[in-house]
Structure 1
Amino acid sequence: MSPALLFGCDFSCAPTSRKPIVVASGSIGSIGSTSGDVGELVLAGLQRFTALDAWAGWLRREPAWIGGFDFPFGLPRELVEHLQWPREWNALMSHYAGLSRAEIRTTFAAFCAARPVGGKFAHRATDGPAGSSTSMKWVNPPVAFMLHAGVPPLLDAGASLPGLHVGSNGSRVALEAYPGLLARELVGRRSYKSDEPAKQTPERLAARADLLVALEAGTTRLGLRLALSGAQRIELLGDARGDHIDAVLCLVQAAWSAQRASTPGPGYGLPEQFDPLEGWIVTA
């Protein structure tokens, strides 16, 4: 059996040629090692998908993979219980997939409107250590819609989501990643990307350059050194939107998790116990 494809995915819930889904694939030496040595993660390539169906079809065609996906896999338990939605993950995802984006927006906006300033949104337990947005946000970024669009294709591919769902294809493993968590470790709060051309500044280019230097040096707590070709480095630096670098950051997180597939609990370096309704971001 061929080894599982290792990749990170920067996701868009409405991909276009201007804002595609980007997948960064790679390979690492000594998968399964948990030693303190810095391992080498080689970036094999970058793929772009301009339609959800094309991306979903690719997931189904690849026979074996471990992927880190930049979208949430669950909703805050507080929100689910307040709305009296199903409290079992599979049933909840089925219910959520049956809603329209307009229904999601209206429902979540009403929840927020009834709450005090400073506490409008409910959060998952993982949001604190990860520094991530709540998965019920429908704008800036629209992660509620990303969950709505992203999880069903994972289930259709038969993927397992450790700690949440055992899929029908044991060779495909989906992990929730978050590039902002690793980026902050490397360059702090400096912004390295923007979708707005007017904000694609030299300062953001410099931040991308510093981020890549740190990744290539392996100066992260994840113990992985990124290996790039000159052409890949130029491509990553030149993407002012940051989608390609975000996919690579998710790849690094997925590689760290793949090294820890056999750890206790759900495995993949995830906590031994976390809320099976909410999910958890790897490396948080």
Structure 2
Amino acid sequence: MQDLSIFGIDFTSAPRRAKPIRVAAGRRHGAVVRLEGLAALDSLDAFSDWLARPGLWVGGFDLPFGLPRELVEQLGWPNDYAVLMAHYAALGRDEIRARFAAFCDARPVGAKFAHRACDGPAGASPSMKWVNPPVAWMLHAGLPRLIAAGVHLPGLLAGDESRVALEAYPGLLARELIGRRSYKSDTRAAQTPERLIARKDIVDALEQGRTRLGLRLKLSHAQRDELVADGSGDCIDAVLAMLQAAWAVAQPRYGWPEGVDPLEGWIVSA
């Protein structure tokens, strides 16, 4: 495990200089995960280039890796994972939005969206949701690039086992630490002192190892300041995803429970 890099990736489907994809890099030494650095990728091409680099790593990626089986079957889409993802990647966003909206319109209030089995335990938004947050676009923009890079998607698609990609969800770990308190906003005016305190509380808890993952985060003073100061929360989210990946490397099947639907996938540590 000494040579294994652990990454956490806070993904956005429309990266730019002001809102890049954030990458947290670290290494695990027993129960300690040391943050080695934070990087910013300001385009999807930069993300693809980063994925293609050789190396021994496991990454937790904050984007959905699959669609709900109920949705796939209702739409008559392929039920083989690789074929389904190729089909989804080939569709334009307007067509996806129209198909998903029609699916929702035909369903009763309170049950508009289809969910994956992992959404409930993780407290995650359904992967077919195209607004607030637009995770359907994250799947559409990110997953095909993971597949094109040939990385290994355990339980879903075989690839280069020296580069392992897992679906992470930072919100799951953040809620364990601070409950439903908000700790981030992309709107500068909404980056309040209360949210800053919440970020500080998250970082303090991670450094003290107060999570069910049984891991303790090791930071420099400068790194701690950077995580707390980032009002968008993207840097903290990348670190949370990194810790979820660090937990998974020591688990059988990377923490996947028995009987996971190979079309839907699973969120690490849910």
Instruction: Give the TM-score taking structure 1 as reference length.
Output: 0.93
**Structure 1 residue 157, shift from structure 2 partner:** 1.6
Of 124, 128, 147, the residue aligned with 1:136 is 128
**Correspondence for 2:168:** 177
Instruction: Give the TM-score taking structure 2 as reference length.
Output: 0.98
SS of match in other structure, 1:185: helix
1:57 alignment partner AA: D
**Correspondence for 2:111:** 119
Q: Which runs of 4+ in 1 moved over 4 A?
A: none
How well do the aligned residues superpose, as a CA RMSD in angstroms?
Answer: 1.2
Of 16, 39, 50, the residue aligned with 1:47 is 39
Q: How does 1:24-103 map to 2 (within 5 A)?
A: 24-30=24-30, 39-103=31-95
**Structure 1 residue 201, shift from structure 2 partner:** 0.5
SS of match in other structure, 1:174: strand
Q: Over residues 125-165 of structure 1, what are the superposed CA-to-partner deviations in whole Å (9 max), with x where a residue is unaligned?
A: 00010000000000111100100111111111211111111
8 Å CA contact retained: 2:248, 2:268 = yes
8 Å CA contact retained: 2:2, 2:27 = no
Of 254, 265, 269, the residue aligned with 2:255 is 269
Within the alignment, does 1:255 sit opposite 2:246 as a pair? yes
Supply the distance in 1 between the matched residues of 2:197 and 2:46 (Cα, whole angstroms).
Answer: 34
Q: How many residues of Structure 1 are paired with residues of Structure 2 in the alignment?
A: 270
Q: Over residues 61-102 of structure 1, what are the superposed CA-to-partner deviations in whole Å (9 max), with x where a residue is unaligned?
A: 132221000000000001000000001101100100000111
8 Å CA contact retained: 2:4, 2:27 = no
SS of match in other structure, 1:108: helix
**Correspondence for 2:225:** 234
**Structure 1 residue 2, shift from structure 2 partner:** 8.5
8 Å CA contact retained: 1:4, 1:171 = no
Supply the distance in 2 between the matched residues of 1:197 and 1:158 (Cα, whole angstroms).
Answer: 38
Long gaps (5+) in structure 1: 31-38
Q: Over residues 165-188 of structure 1, what are the superposed CA-to-partner deviations in whole Å (9 max), with x where a residue is unaligned?
A: 111x12111100000000000000
**Correspondence for 1:199:** 190
Of 202, 207, 213, the residue aligned with 1:216 is 207
**Correspondence for 1:153:** 145
Supply the distance in 2 between the matched residues of 1:120 and 1:184 (Cα, whole angstroms).
Answer: 25
Aligned-residue identity in percent: 64
2:138 alignment partner AA: M
2:99 alignment partner AA: T
8 Å CA contact retained: 2:2, 2:28 = no
Supply the distance in 1 between the matched residues of 2:254 and 2:266 (Cα, whole angstroms).
Answer: 11
